[in-house]
Amino acid sequence: MAKKKKSKFKESIGLDIGSHSIKLVHLKKLHQGFRLLNYEIKSTVPEGVEYTPSDLLPDRFPPILSGMLKSLKMNPKKIKHIISSIGGDNTSIKQIKTIFLPEEELESALFFEARKHLPISGSEMLLDYQVLSVEEKTNNMNILLAATTKSLLNEHSNILTTAGITPGIVDIESLAVANSFALNSLVEEGIYIILNLGALKTNMVIFAPKARFFARDIAMGGYHFTKDIMKKQKISFEEAENYKFEHGLKKEKIDKSSVIALDITEKSTIEKIALEVKRSLRFYVKEAGNSDFRKILLVGGGAKLKGISEFIQEQINIPTEVFNPFVNIEMPEKYKDEQDPQLALAMGLAMRPE
């Protein structure tokens, strides 16, 4: 998390290295806002090979990443502002409140405070923080703590350096998801829920300029949608992937009752995700004392499934839509109709201030 200061970069690259695909966005900084220069999405799984998470190793990323840079005719050494992200079980983020401390005392105090709040052992923990506000009446500080492990950061840095990239700023996925919305939209009053529907997990972020920040991972995503279909339809993984994007959450009529296409005998993945979102919202209301939820925004590859926004809105009873990460970006003619929600995380990274 960067301390607040004026952005000086002219161009930036946002790298979202996901378990199923790498998303790269190249932006130019304008006097006000950004212009899209280029982007690319590349699967990390060879065509015709079943996506089996346990079989996929980190060494598959560098050759794909370096190939993407070559196809875009980009020399990463000439672009100084490269931002990537890490996420998953070995990252954590939490907003806390503490007594006012001068800057020279704050960092050491927060390290001990973080051990109470973040589930990462002290010897492995790498900590960063941002002071969000200081309350006038109490002089208490609202602080956002972000932590990861040394081993995860080293693994991520090795991927970049092997691909010929000098590691720059590394952000937590949850913050980049929030930035893709906050830095690119006119944020109205109220609280927004952002669901980043990835391949293996759904990253949930609750965001508002003046409300408590909340983030958690739900361990279900597009891969689990496909497994549901494989089981129900008794088809191969590749056939199920095609079926998923062709039919989405289409409703079918069976014995006068309506069921979703991804359903199986037990609750489907999307129903489980909706239940976890509900539980998180109840927890948030209890902790933050605020229930002014205005909208659910869907990003990530799973957001492209037909009917998913309607289904989630029906389940959670909050207006839901697929977020367009290019809504206020100046676009070249060849990309003027681009709205892919899968690029939201990479956009949030590329727009990040120094």
Helix/strand/coil for 103:
helix
Tokens of 177: 């998801």
pLDDT at 269 over 60: yes
- Do you know the residue count of the chain? 354
- H or E stretch at 13: strand 11-17
The tally of CA atoms less than 13 A away on the side-chain side of residue 175 is 27
Only one residue has tokens 């997990």, namely 201
Distance separating alpha carbons of residues 224 and 191, to the nearest angstrom: 28
Distance separating alpha carbons of residues 310 and 315, to the nearest angstrom: 9
The pLDDT tens digits of the residues spanning 119-154 come to 777 678 888 888 888 888 888 888 898 989 999 999
Tokens of 37: 């220069």
The pLDDT tens digits of the residues spanning 290-345 come to 999 999 999 999 999 999 999 999 999 999 999 999 988 999 998 988 899 999 99
What average pLDDT does this structure show over 191-199?
A: 95
Domain coordinates in residue numbering, the chain: 1-90+151-184+325-354, 187-323
Distance separating alpha carbons of residues 293 and 207, to the nearest angstrom: 10
Query: Rounded to the nearest 5°, which phi and psi values hold at 209?
Result: -55, -35
Query: Rounded to the nearest 5°, which phi and psi values hold at 253?
Result: -95, 120
Distance separating alpha carbons of residues 129 and 212, to the nearest angstrom: 15
* 209 or 272, greater pLDDT: 272
CB 340 within 8 A of CB 322: no
The pLDDT tens digits of the residues spanning 69-84 come to 999 998 877 777 899 9
Q: Is the dihedral of CA 261, 266, 267, 272 positive or negative?
A: negative
Q: Alpha helix (H) ranges present in 234-339?
A: 237-247, 269-288, 308-316
Residue 57 pLDDT: 80
Two domains, one topology: 1-90+151-184+325-354 and 187-323: yes
Strand partners, 343: none
Residue 122 pLDDT: 66
User: What architecture is the 1-90+151-184+325-354 domain classified under in CATH?
Assistant: 2-Layer Sandwich (3.30)
pLDDT at 192 over 70: yes
What does each C-alpha distance from 345 to 100, 119, 291, 298, 325 come to in angstroms? 33, 24, 26, 11, 9
- Specify the pTM: 0.89
Distance separating alpha carbons of residues 313 and 318, to the nearest angstrom: 5
Strand partners, 12: 27, 81
CB 325 within 8 A of CB 349: no
Reported as a pLDDT band with limits 50, 70 and 90, residue 264 is: very low
What average pLDDT does this structure show over 238-259?
A: 68
Tokens of 116: 């109470």
* 116 or 230, greater pLDDT: 230
pLDDT at 184 over 90: no
CATH topology classification for 187-323: Nucleotidyltransferase; domain 5 (3.30.420)
Query: Average model confidence (pLDDT) for the chain?
Result: 86
* 278 or 264, greater pLDDT: 278
Supply the DSSP string of 166-192, one letter for each residue: ---EEEEHHHHHHHHHHTSS-PPSSEE
Residue 5 pLDDT: 46
What average pLDDT does this structure show over 105-123?
A: 79
Tokens of 153: 């950061």
C-alpha 238: how far from its chain's center? 25
